[in-house]
Structure 1
Amino acid sequence: MTSGTRDKMVAGAAELLSRRGMHGTSLREVVRHTETPRGSIGYHFPGGKAQLIEAAVRLAQQDISAILERLLREHGAVGGVRAAFALRGKSLQDSCFEAGCPVLVVAVERYTDDAREAPDANTQQQLLDAANQAFVDWQGIIAAQLAREGVDAARAQRLAALVLSAMEGAVALCRAALGLQALDDVADEVALLMQSAIDEARA
């Protein structure tokens, strides 16, 4: 069984997490969704569903980090964050407002295995640690760009946390409303705050 099969399953799990949440992302559904052999689960993920979900979180972290770094490098802090909001909006529209953030799902839902049994504390903490590391990574990328543009490091960290929180909150509003107005409005306000911080630092 190739690593390509593993990659396909991890990507499929990340997509299912974003659309159906943790409880709707069963091993059976991942196999069906990715059209991979049932036996490949045990081969690539001997730790079961928890191991697969952790791998999906790590993949989401890497993919989004790469996107953020590229957008911020190309457009600067304000333009890059605006571009990230726009990209998130496109993803929502393309998924008919179903796709959330797989990392957020793992952060807010309590894990259960496919038998719907509660995990031990170590498993739960391991998944939370993976989600937290993704958020820390994304926050650090945004904060680093703000710092490069003159914003004090501590404020850059706070603003970066605000960007992530505002985006995910706006996505929830958009999914409920089946429209992008909240995401557009929040992007405008976040951009104003970021630009104000940059202007103050340069004054």
Structure 2
Amino acid sequence: MTAGPRERLVMSAIELVRRKGVAGTGLTELLEHSGAARRSIYQHFPHGKAELIEVSTRTAGEFMTARLAALVDGRPTADAMRAFVEQWKGVIAGSGYESGCPVVGAALGRSEAPGAADEAGTAIADWERVLTASLRRDGADDAIAESLATLAISSIEGAVMLSLAGQSTDPLDRVSGHLVELIERHTGT
């Protein structure tokens, strides 16, 4: 089934925000990338670019939350973190070191799309919730589980930015090693 203009616009917004951020993603480029007609934006997103970026951030956040939940399902959190970092390495290297996290891109674009930044906050809180539950299941106490979840997300997202800036996935490898060590120490896995 072929995606309609709304879906193409959302997917294009995700991709362009990953590469250029909110401020660097213009309506003309969104239309060119998606192949949608100009009227499609206002037909599907009456409040324009800000609404489109908000919906695309929610979509990307929900996808990433589901992906993270699938990774921790039935396996130790430490193993899930290794797998999550490997996925990020593939995304970053596969994009020629041009694509980061669309949710972080939206969080940084609050001045242009405040609703998208709010959606980014919701997504990140969901990621923390998923990781906290997994860490608790693995034996970490509540306070440690919450702080390790926050540390994991902020470390991986920071390493994604360092990897893009340095054109190398080495920062992700270094972060992954220490995260896994901390998780194993606090969960006994």
Partner residue in 2 for 1:95:
95
List per-residue Cα deviations over 1:35-88 (Å, max 9, x = no partner): 111110010000111100000110111110111011111432110011001100
| Structure 2: runs of 5 or more not aligned | none
Structure 1 residue 3, shift from structure 2 partner: 7.4
| Pairing 1:42-191 to 2, within 5 Å after superposition | 42-112=42-112, 124=114, 126-191=115-180
TM-score (ref. length: structure 1)? 0.88
Structure 1 residue 141, shift from structure 2 partner: 0.5
Query: What is the number of equivalent residue pairs in this alignment?
Result: 188
Letter in 2 for 1:165: S
Structure 1 residue 129, shift from structure 2 partner: 1.7
- Give, in whole Å, the separation in 1 of the partners of 2:52 and 2:140: 39
Letter in 1 for 2:183: M
Structure 1 residue 110, shift from structure 2 partner: 3.9
Partner residue in 1 for 2:184:
195
- Give, in whole Å, the separation in 2 of the partners of 1:132 and 1:61: 9
Counting aligned pairs with the same residue, the percent is 36
TM-score (ref. length: structure 2)? 0.94
Structure 1 residue 26, shift from structure 2 partner: 1.3
Letter in 2 for 1:59: T
C-alpha contact 1:16 1:25 (8 A) present in aligned 2: yes
- Give, in whole Å, the separation in 1 of the partners of 2:165 and 2:97: 8
List per-residue Cα deviations over 1:85-113 (Å, max 9, x = no partner): 1100100011001111111112123433x
| Structure 1: runs of 5 or more not aligned | 113-122
- Runs of 4+ aligned residues of structure 1 deviating over 6 Å after TM superposition are none
Partner residue in 2 for 1:18:
18
